[in-house]
Each structure stands twice: as structure tokens, then as C-alpha cells.
Structure 1
């Protein structure tokens, strides 16, 4: 007979509580966030042929910014997991998951489907969802909410950049 037992919720909470939990969540958020770029990205003839808006940053900027933002999000999730239990945590993490799903939908919309209008809709949905996630996180741990502010700013920039792509193309 095996001495292993099924982990309950408290066991998972304990495993995520320490620094290894922070590292694990940062890695998961980065991996899931970067996954859509493996399927579709800027290395296509379609994107190369697009007129780039004047506000388009150097291409290397995106990897640095997204890695930083995903890392901040992972730490924010860790703070929320450590800082709350019950309904408030479920609500905060649910809003976070919703915005994250919208976030990862932008790359397939823009690069995969090559639909700038659809990508603009996705980006437009992302901003209020990130704001809601930051607010829900703030209620649990102000540091967690603050860690999402740079992401909110970048999401706003993404709306503007996507709009400018639509205008010039």
C-alpha cells in the first residue's frame, strides 16, 4: 500500500507560500503568456509587409517588456495566493484569469488570423479587465495591485498601437 496521499487545498497553499511558490508562479505565467507567440508571431511576410506606425517600438522591446510584465504578474498572483482565502481570492484570481485569457488571445487575433480589427477589439477588452484585476488584487494586497499598474499602462499602449496599425494599413 502506498504512503502517498492526495494533496488538499491547504497543502497547495503551503507549497505556494514560500519563495519557490513565487518562482513557480512566475514561470507558469511567463510560459503561458509566451505560448501564443510559438504559434504565430511577427516573423511572417504579412507582418513584414505592414506599414509600421510611428509609435512602433524596436522589435526587441516586446520580449523585454513582456517578460518583465509576466514576471510582475506572477509575483502579484503569488501575493494574492498568500494574502487571502475564500471568496475574495477566488474572485481576484478569476478576474486575473479572465484578463489573462484575453491577453493571450491578442497574438492569435493579430498575427494568426491577421485581423487588426479583431486584435483591436481584444486589446480594448483587455484594459478594463486588467484594471479590474489590479483593483481586486489591491483589495487583498496593495503590492499585488501595484504590480499590475505597469501592465495596465502597457495594455493601454497596446490599444493605441493596434489602433495605429489599423489606421496606417
Structure 2
């Protein structure tokens, strides 16, 4: 019986990681030209180098998936929190398409503002079920807050492109 519980826990962790990385992959498809496009844009002086985004996002997606798994483990009644989590993943993936795929700076900015609201709602919801899970979303919230300011700045600096 104990082995069955452990196996179920591991399988769910792998499933949540896979679904989270799937969302990351969908976003990455929209960002295929991001390294070249990013270099062509007029950037604010404080913009991070393009190479930094991959490692940061990989770390954040891993923390996010672990947080969702902790919530799943914490309660059978956490379904709405997990739906919120997966909903914000969809909005997250859409941002890459809006900004890098379709060059829609204003819509990308609106999308990232919605994403911030959803991250806050998800973190608060996770916090109710598992404090560590809620805390694991704080780096994500901070990075997306920074990304929102960067999105706005780049959009304003490149009106003919975005």
C-alpha cells in the first residue's frame, strides 16, 4: 500500500512537470525568433541579456510545477487552485506568441498584466493549501513583474515594430 502511494505521488509530480513544461514549450514555439528579434529591438539600458531568459524560465517553471504538486498533495479539495494554475499557464504561453510571434506589444502588455493578476490569485490560493507552495510562486511573480515593466518599455521604445 505504501509503495502505491509513493508511486502515485511520483507519477503526479512527473505529470504536473510534463504539463508545465508543455506550456513552456508552446510559449517557446512562439519565441523561436526571440534571440534575433530581441537583439534588433531598442532596449532599455537595464534590459537583461537574451541568454538569461532560458535559465530563469526553466528554474521558474520547475518551481511552479513543484508548487502545484504540493497543493495537489495537500488536499483533495484543491481542484479550483489547480485549475487556476493551469489557466495562468495558458496565459503565460500566449504572451510569447503575442510579443515575439505576432509583434503585438500592446496586447502582450495587456496579457502580462492579466498574467500578474492570475499569478497573485494562484499564489494566494496555493498559500491556503500549502504555505511552501504559495512561497514557491513568489520568484515567478517577481520575474513576471519585472518582465511587465520590460515589456512596456520595449513596446514604447519600438512603436513601429510592436
Q: What's the TM-score once normalised by structure 1's chain length?
A: 0.82
Q: Aligned match of 1:32 in 23, 35, 40?
A: 23
Question: Greater shift after overlay, 109-118 or 28-37?
Answer: 28-37
Question: Greater shift after overlay, 35-44 or 70-79?
Answer: 35-44
Structure 2 residue 83 is matched with structure 1 residue 94: yes
Report the CA distance shift for 1:14/1:28 in structure 2 as closer, same or farther (over 3 A). Answer: farther
Residue 127 of structure 1 is matched in structure 2 by 116
After superposition, give the CA deviation of every residue in 1:106-125 in whole Å (9 maximum; x if it has no partner).
00000111111111111111
Q: How does 1:82-121 map to 2 (within 5 A)?
A: 82-86=73-77, 89-121=78-110
- SS of the residue 1:18 aligns to: helix
Runs of 4+ in 1 over 6 A off after TM superposition: none
* Greater Rg by CA: 1
Question: Greater shift after overlay, 47-56 or 68-77?
Answer: 47-56
Aligned partners of 2:126 and 2:134 also within 8 Å: yes
Alignment partners' CA distance in 1, 2:7 and 2:75: 13
Alignment partners' CA distance in 2, 1:16 and 1:92: 23
Q: Aligned match of 2:53 in 49, 62, 77?
A: 62
Give RMSD over aligned pairs.
2.0
Report the CA distance shift for 1:76/1:56 in structure 2 as closer, same or farther (over 3 A). Answer: same
Residue 49 of structure 1 is matched in structure 2 by 40
* Structure 2 unaligned spans of 5+: none
Alignment partners' CA distance in 2, 1:65 and 1:136: 24
Q: Aligned match of 2:70 in 69, 72, 79?
A: 79
Alignment partners' CA distance in 1, 2:86 and 2:150: 24
Aligned partners of 1:138 and 1:146 also within 8 Å: yes
Aligned partners of 1:17 and 1:81 also within 8 Å: no
Q: What's the TM-score once normalised by structure 2's chain length?
A: 0.86
Aligned length: 154
* Structure 1 unaligned spans of 5+: 1-12
